[in-house]
Structures are given as structure tokens and as C-alpha cells.
């Protein structure tokens, strides 16, 4: 009971903090807007500052909304995969989704597609990567514990394949015009997020997160055998398939809009477990909120720390690696 009360207070406090950070992010930037002006714009009353409404509504608001969605989605996908594979090092790209989406985006850039076309191409190939994993393993997430190992191995193979294809595209791309665009996109950034791209990427992320959220009770059964799971009323192969597809859809959508962003899906679930234990009924909701906060803070730093925006994936690695080392030292090794 004490843990449940602690968890409830943590979630309330974290949600309030997330709202405060979002308000600060709307104010902060090279063009600073006072908080009262931001609230006036959000309330539909406009602003006395020239161009402030355009900056808030068309530039910062979609970017902030998607950064929170991306952080929440990647953290939820990471928590789900770590539970599913019983592997503390599992990430949203374990099955090659990010590399598949990266290939789709790089191909779209090479072919001169529009921004929407590039995003749709990335989402298609991200989902295709996971479907190829299922095809290689010839089973919907497997019928026994050994098949999970086959899924992971197939994911590594498909991930390597798409990584090689990305390298091939970079090799044949025009080094003056196309290659720099592909390279910058692969670094990960929210700078190009608009409400149009938000409409393309947000639905799959929201649906995927909701599915994982409602399956959090069943995730605790992922380490059980089929017979034990059946005795609890859980269809283990079907649940595994749904979790994999949902997490893959989230990852593909995030990568399609803003490029590859690492560490969120690895680091945030471990922080949630350190605070609340291994029960996925708490780990998954905590990961969603903490992931949104982490990504929002990181993106705000990326666009405010200098005149030239820093790719957000660089900051997630710079921040995530030391924090992960601290977690390892505090816990004496992370277990799930």
C-alpha cells in the first residue's frame, strides 16, 4: 500500500513538473516570450509582442508536443521490450525498426521526395523491418522461450541489413547536396516538426502507447511459460506479437519524423524500476511520464544552448551515458 501511495504521488508530481517544463520550453529560445504572453496566446487572446504568436503556435508548440510524444513513446517501447525479452539492454531498436526507418528516410531524401513522402517512406520501412523479423522466425513472436532468442537474433540480422543499406545510400548520394541532408537527419532533431508532420506521426505513437499501457498488467507474465500464462488467462504468443508490433509502430513513427534518437528507451525504464521496482503496472506509466520529461528537457537544451542547434541525439547520449553509469553503481547491476 505504501508503494502504491508513493507511486501515486510521484505520478501527480511528475505530471505537474512536465506541464511546468512545457510552459518554460514555450517561453525559452533565441526569441524569448514571457510566460504571461505565452498563456495569453494559448488562451486565444493573442500577444502584444510582434511575431510571438507565430513563433509559439507554428514553431514551438508542435515541436514541444511531438518531443513529449516521442519521449513517452520511446520510453514505453523500451520498457516493453526489456520486459518481453527479459533483457535490461533491450531498446526500441532491438528488432531493427530504427534502422529500417532510417533507410526509408534516406531513400526518400535520395529520391527527392517531399517531407511528407520521406516520413511515410520511413514509417513504411520501419514497420517492414519488424515484418521481416516475423517472416524470418516464421512465427508470431514464437511458441516457446527459445523462439524469443530467434526473434532477437533475427532482429539483429535485419537491423544490420538495413544499416548496410543506409551506408550504401550515403555512398551513392551527392556529397555536396544530398549527403549532408541525410547525415543531419540521421543525427536526430525536432527542428523540422510541424503540425502537418505531427498529424502523420502522432496517431501511431498514441495508439501504440495506449496499447502498451493497457497491456502492462500482462507484461509481468512475459517471463512465464505458455502453460503458466494460460493458467492466468494470458495468450502469451498473441500478447508478445501485439507488444512487438505496437513498440515497432511507435519507434518507426518517431524515427520517421525526427530521425534516430538513442538512450531514451534504455535509460528511462531503468530509472522507473529503480524507483518503483519491477512491476510493469508501475514501470510503464512512470516510463511514459519520465520519458516525456527527459526528451522535452533535452530538446529545450538542444535549441537554447547555442545559436546553432545541437542534434538532440548527441545530447541524449551525453546525458544518458553518465546517468546510466551512476545507476549501475547505485544498483550494483540492473536487473529486471
Range from 4-13, 229-238, 259-268 carrying the lowest mean pLDDT: 229-238
Backbone torsion region of residue 261, taken as left when φ is above 0, otherwise alpha when ψ lies between -120 and 50, otherwise beta:
beta
C-alpha to C-alpha distance for 189 and 299, rounded to whole angstroms: 8
What per-residue confidence (pLDDT) applies to 166?
A: 94
Q: Are 41 and 56 within 8 A, CB to CB?
A: yes
Residue 259 pLDDT > 90, yes or no? Answer: no
Q: Is the pLDDT of residue 263 over 60?
A: yes
Higher pLDDT, 298 or 146: 298
Do 76 and 250 form a contact (C-beta atoms < 8 A)? yes
Show the DSSP H helices in 28-114 as ranges: 35-42, 52-54, 61-84, 97-110
C-alpha to C-alpha distance for 67 and 72, rounded to whole angstroms? 8
Res 141: pLDDT: 43
Please compute Rg for the chain using Cα positions. 20
Q: What percent of the chain has pLDDT over 90?
A: 37
C-alpha dihedral sign at 220, 267, 104, 108: positive
Give 280's contacts (C-beta < 8 A, 6+ positions apart).
79, 83, 216, 217, 219, 220
pLDDT (tens digit, 9 = 90+) per residue, 164-191?
999 999 999 988 888 988 888 888 888 8
pLDDT of residue 103: 94
Asked whether the beta carbons of 253 and 204 are under 8 A apart, the reply is: yes
Q: Which residue, 222, 215, 321, 206, is CA-closest to 270?
A: 321
User: C-alpha angle with apex 126: 122 to 131, nearest 5 degrees?
Assistant: 145
pLDDT one-digit tens code per residue, 124-156: 999 999 989 888 887 544 444 446 778 888 888
∠281-284-287 over CA atoms, to 5°? 140
CA 193 to chain centre: 15
What is the pTM (predicted TM-score) of this model?
Answer: 0.89
Q: Could you give the CA distance from residue 14 to residue 67 in angstroms, rounded to a whole number? A: 16
Q: Which residue has the higher pLDDT, 263 or 224?
A: 263
User: What is the arithmetic mean of pLDDT over 303-330?
Assistant: 82
Ranking 140-154, 223-237, 244-258 by mean pLDDT, the lowest is 140-154
Q: Does domain 63-331 have CATH number 3.40.50.2300?
A: no
Provide CB contacts within 8 A for 266, sequence distance 6+.
78, 89, 91, 320, 324
pLDDT at 237: 78
Q: What is the pLDDT of residue 328?
A: 74
Of residues 299 and 321, more confidently modeled = 299
Q: How far apart are CA 264 and CA 93, in angstroms?
A: 11
**Domain ranges, ordered by start, for the chain:** 63-331
Statement: residue 223 has pLDDT above 70? no
Amino acid at each position: 500500500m505504501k508503494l502504491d501511495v508513493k507511486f501515486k504521488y510521484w505520478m501527480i508530481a511528475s505530471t505537474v513538473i512536465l506541464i511546468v517544463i512545457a510552459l518554460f520550453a514555450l517561453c525559452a529560445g533565441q526569441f524569448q516570450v514571457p510566460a504571461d504572453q505565452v498563456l495569453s496566446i494559448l488562451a486565444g487572446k493573442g500577444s502584444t509582442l510582434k511575431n510571438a504568436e507565430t513563433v509559439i503556435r507554428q514553431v514551438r508548440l508542435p515541436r514541444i508536443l511531438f518531443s513529449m510524444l516521442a519521449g513517452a513513446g520511446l520510453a514505453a517501447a523500451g520498457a516493453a521490450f526489456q520486459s518481453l525479452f527479459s533483457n535490461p539492454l533491450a531498446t526500441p531498436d532491438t528488432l531493427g525498426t530504427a534502422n529500417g526507418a532510417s533507410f526509408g528516410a534516406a531513400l526518400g531524401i535520395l529520391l527527392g521526395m517531399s517531407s511528407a513522402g520521406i516520413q511515410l517512406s520511413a514509417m513504411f520501412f520501419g514497420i517492414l523491418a519488424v515484418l521481416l523479423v516475423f517472416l524470418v522466425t516464421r512465427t508470431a513472436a514464437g511458441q516457446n522461450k527459445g523462439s524469443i532468442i530467434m526473434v532477437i537474433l533475427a532482429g539483429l540480422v535485419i537491423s544490420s541489413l538495413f544499416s548496410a543499406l543506409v551506408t550504401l545510400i550515403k555512398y551513392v548520394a551527392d556529397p555536396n547536396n544530398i549527403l549532408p541532408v541525410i547525415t543531419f537527419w540521421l543525427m536526430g532533431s525536432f527542428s523540422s516538426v510541424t503540425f502537418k508532420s505531427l498529424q502523420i506521426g502522432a496517431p501511431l505513437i498514441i495508439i501504440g502507447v495506449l496499447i502498451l499501457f493497457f497491456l502492462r498488467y500482462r507484461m509481468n507474465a512475459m517471463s512465464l511459460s505458455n502453460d503458466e500464462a494460460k493458467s492466468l488467462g494470458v495468450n502469451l504468443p498473441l500478447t508478445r506479437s501485439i507488444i512487438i508490433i505496437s513498440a515497432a509502430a511507435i519507434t518507426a513513427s518517431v524515427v520517421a519524423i525526427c530521425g534516430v534518437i538513442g538512450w531514451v528507451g534504455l535509460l528511462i525504464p531503468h530509472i522507473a524500476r529503480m524507483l518503483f521496482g519491477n512491476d510493469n503496472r508501475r514501470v510503464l506509466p512512470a516510463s511514459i511520464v519520465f520519458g516525456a520529461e527527459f526528451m522535452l528537457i533535452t530538446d529545450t537544451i538542444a535549441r537554447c544552448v547555442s545559436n546553432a542547434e545541437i542534434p538532440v541525439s548527441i545530447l541524449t547520449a551525453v546525458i544518458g551515458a553518465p546517468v546510466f553509469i551512476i545507476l549501475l553503481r547505485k544498483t550494483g547491476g540492473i536487473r529486471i
